[in-house]
A and B are shown apart, each in its own frame.
Chain A
Amino acid sequence: MSLSSELLQYLLSGLTMGGIYALVALGFVIIHNVTGIINFAQGEFVMLGAMFMVTLVNAGVPAAGALVIAVILVMIVVGLIEIGAIRTARKASPITLIIITIGLSTAIKGIALLVWGTNPYKLEPFTKGGPIHIGGATIVPQSLWVIGTTVLVLALTFFIFEYTYWGKALRACVVNKFAARLMGINPQRMSLLAFVFSAALAALAGIVIAPITYVTYDMGLMLGLKGFVAAVLGGLSSTPGAVIGGLALGIIESMGAGLLSSGYKDGIAFIILLLVLFLKPGGIFGTSGTKRV
């Protein structure tokens, strides 16, 4: 394999994982912007989506229907969690709320372990067929599904944010929470909306990645963490930033693993992350500069 085709290979697999990171990162950004919380349970939502999907497909539900049901189930679960835990504690400080999401993540993971056990589950790819060859690199059809879904979901997200009432309300909260409140936007309802919407994004990410990686009860931790990294790379408050951060992280990681050392894969991603943060302390797309006291 020549170096250029090797690079193309890493680029393609990087884009696949990057798409997943982008979806997870988008969820982080939406929740953070609306509520100020870093939701450490985001990775568990990804796992729940994948688990529901596998269970439904194994029960004989056709894939398309299973996908819709799985996403809706995750949205309901997360909605209940938001009402039960986050809303009850909404007056607490951000660090307390973050610890609450860590507790929730532990509990969700435990319940998943209880229901599904430690065995990895396999989900059939959405379409059959062998790997596709592009310019010396190979790609499995499911990767195209991942990239396609990512593009579609992002387009849909931007449409919702630009043209629907609820999307505009969410965006208003992002720009200025206080002003949005003065305009009659209910922050509690927005918090619920942000959690449910992020849950849908996370669940979708879990479902499309499931055929490539196996589904296990503990898959959420690393995916959630990488999503967080991607979100911070993108500035933590910018939606396009989250997407670019996700893709960049995916590509950096796959290049690092391929060209340098696979054992140091996670290490390389984080070293680059630290370098980026040191050079640009507000993230690539963050607003730097003055802050009102």
Chain B
Amino acid sequence: MKDLLRQKRLRHALILLFTLIIFAVPFLVTNNYYLSVLVIIGIHTIVVVGLCLLMGYAGQISLGHAAFYGLGAYTSGILTSTYNVSPWLAMLAGAVGTGIIAYLIGIPIFRLKEHYLALATLGLGLIIHVVLMEEVELTGGPSGLSKGIPYLSIGSLVFNNDFKYYFLVWILALLAVILANNVVHSRIGRALRSIHGSEFAAQSLGVDTGRHKLQVFALSAIYASVAGSLYAHYITFISPSPFGLMTSVQFVVMAVVGGLASIWGPILGVSVITVMAEGLKEFMPLLIPQAGGEYEIVVYGIILVVIMIFMPDGLTATLVKAYESWRYRKERPNETS
């Protein structure tokens, strides 16, 4: 009991500390490039939090989340630039629309299991990507939406630079984490974990596994859609290429590298992967002056393999284990093990 209380206190302390760090960072980092990387990390975190709910708690993999990300971005982009709809309304429309689409498509898809499910989501992602490429009149095709997408604004506050956008994105990212945390610790969360443990056992105890999986799938699609809208209003130009298969794969990689069993996994996973990719872009030319982009890809791939070989449960699990063994040794200094 004491342990449980301490764990809960630790969890709250961590969340508080993290929030403080988040709000302190933009005052310390004044370089616009670093700020823009942090904004992108925030946007990706929102997607990966949703994906982690689906993968870590419902035990279902999705290789098509970039499509939902793209649906959000394009709904926002098209509604605001072509039809002059208010950006916030467009974002809401994207989220609701994507949620409904995910729910409806999810009904047949979630009759599938394991690899078939992965393949079906992959196929879904590719189909949506093809539609974005081919429906030139609506989406602008491969070259993207030509009309400018407006900035987001609240009253007279226009989010038109990295500094302001940073706060907007990270407040939403924190809300996403807190909401996900509440879902995990609710009745639905317990039902979800029981699906991950054994779907048959859960069913036999009266858990409506199918409906819960669909709800989480729709929720994670809504997360991705909101992140997509944020992306569209940040970059103010969209083309189909950031919403392809490789982005879907990258979201899954971020989720797994961070670790699926903790709410900190997504933030850590997204940060590590993004900083790694950006860092390699910065530092490889310094190490090997004649190197082009090729070395980055090789090193990125190898680091990914090494992380997964030595920390198969993700970074958060490894950190938690390290912390626990440190505490264990501190409390029992005389025992050696």
Contacts and interface: CB of A to CB of B under 8 A. Distances in A.
Contact of A103 (B113, B134, B305): B305
Tell me what chain A mostly uses at the interface: helix, strand, loop, or mixed: helix
Contacts of B309: 85, 88-89, 92, 100
Interface string B308-326: 1100110000000000000
A278 interface: yes
Interface residues of A, number: 46
A110 B126 contact: no
A228 interface: yes
Given A107-B301, A107-B305, A229 B119 contact: yes
A38 interface: yes
The B interface, classified by DSSP as helix, strand, loop or mixed, is: helix
Contacts of B127: 267, 270-271, 274
Contact of B301 (A106, A264, A271): A106
A102 B312 contact: no
A210 to B, nearest CB: 22
Contacts of B312: 89, 91-93, 96
B119 A273 contact: yes
Nearest to A286: B116
A32 B119 CA distance: 14
B100 interface: no
Interface residues of B, number: 47
Contacts of A103: 253, 301-305, 308
Interface in A206-236: 221, 225, 228-229, 232, 236
Contacts of B300: 106-107, 110
B268 to A, nearest CB: 15
B61 A110 contact: no
Interface string B8-33: 00000000000000000000000000
Given A106-B297, A229-B119, A267 B126 contact: yes
Most buried by B among A236, A274, A278: A274
Interface string B120-141: 1011101100110110000000
Contact of B116 (A32, A95, A111, A283): A283
Interface string A230-272: 0010001000000000000000000000000101101100110
Contacts of B298: 107, 110-111, 114
Contacts of A225: 122, 245
B191 interface: no
Contact of B302 (A102, A107, A109, A270): A107
A99 interface: yes
Nearest to A236: B115
Given A99-B308, A104-B305, A110 B297 contact: yes
Contacts of A293: 198, 200-201
A77 interface: no
A114 B295 contact: yes
A33 interface: no
Interface in A108-152: 108-111, 113-114
A264 B130 CA distance: 7
B111 interface: yes
A100 B305 contact: yes
B305 A277 contact: no
A277 B118 CA distance: 11
Nearest to B125: A270
Contacts of A95: 55, 61, 256
A191 interface: no
Contacts of B245: 221, 225
B304 A102 contact: yes
A167 interface: no
A249 to B, nearest CB: 12
A85 B133 CA distance: 37
A242 B308 CA distance: 29
B123 A270 contact: yes
Contact of A277 (B116, B133, B249, B299): B116
A187 interface: no
A104 B305 CA distance: 7
Contacts of A97: 308
Contacts of B308: 89, 92, 96-97, 99-100, 103
B297 A113 contact: yes
A33 to B, nearest CB: 12
Nearest to B105: A274
Contacts of A38: 115, 118
Interface of B: 55, 61, 108-109, 111-113, 115-116, 118-120, 122-124, 126-127, 130-131, 133-134, 198, 200-201, 245, 249, 252-253, 256-257, 293-305, 308-309, 312-313
7 contacts: A99-B252, A103-B304, A113-B294, A264-B130, A273-B123, A277-B116, A293-B198
Pick the 4 closest A-B CB pairs, nearest first.
A107-B301, A110-B297, A103-B304, A106-B301
Interface of A: 32, 38, 85, 88-89, 91-93, 95-97, 99-100, 102-111, 113-114, 221, 225, 228-229, 232, 236, 261, 263-264, 266-267, 270-271, 273-274, 277-278, 281-283, 293
Given A89-B312, A96-B313, A110-B296, 16 more contacts: A85-B305, A88-B309, A91-B312, A95-B55, A104-B305, A106-B304, A110-B300, A236-B116, A263-B130, A264-B130, A273-B123, A277-B112, A277-B119, A281-B112, A281-B116, A293-B201
